[in-house]
Copies of this chain bind each other. A is one copy, B any other.
Amino acid sequence: MTRTADGEQAPEDVLVALADPIRREVLAMLARSGGATSTSLAAGLPVTRQAVAKHLAVLDRAGLVRAHRAGREVRYEADLQPLKQTMRWMDALATQWEHRLDAIKELAEEDTRP
């Protein structure tokens, strides 16, 4: 799981992770089952175990899954907290940008006013 210098979760990794349909499907499967291995996940997907393992690595970098070793198995669980964090980040961006756009619109109206 990569983190920024100030300890904040990097929202970019979450966006990248969520941009892929297979990774979203993996997350959905993990949420449905409450935990699974790369092998069991691959059984329900049109790709090989290794491909799933790579996707899980991306999800792990984003903090969206956590791996627990249990004997010779590695069980993955979903963690939705980075998702919520990213939503807050997006909300802050949207608000900020919208305020600027509103201010500009206001200025434009002032121009048309005599």
Chain B interface: which of A46-54, A66-74, A92-100?
Answer: A92-100
Say yes or no: B97 contacts A27, CB within 8 Å. Answer: yes
Known: A18-B15, A32-B100. A86 touches B80 (CB 8 A): no
- Integer count of this chain's copies in the complex: 2
Report the 10 A-B pairs with minimum CB-CB distance, sorted nearest first.
A31-B97, A34-B104, A15-B19, A31-B100, A16-B19, A83-B94, A15-B15, A15-B18, A87-B90, A80-B94
Say yes or no: A78 contacts B97, CB within 8 Å. Answer: yes
In angstroms, Cα B100 to Cα A32, docked, is 6
Answer whether residue A12 sits at the interface, using C-beta atoms and an 8 A cutoff.
Answer: yes
Smallest beta-carbon distance A11→chain B, Å: 9
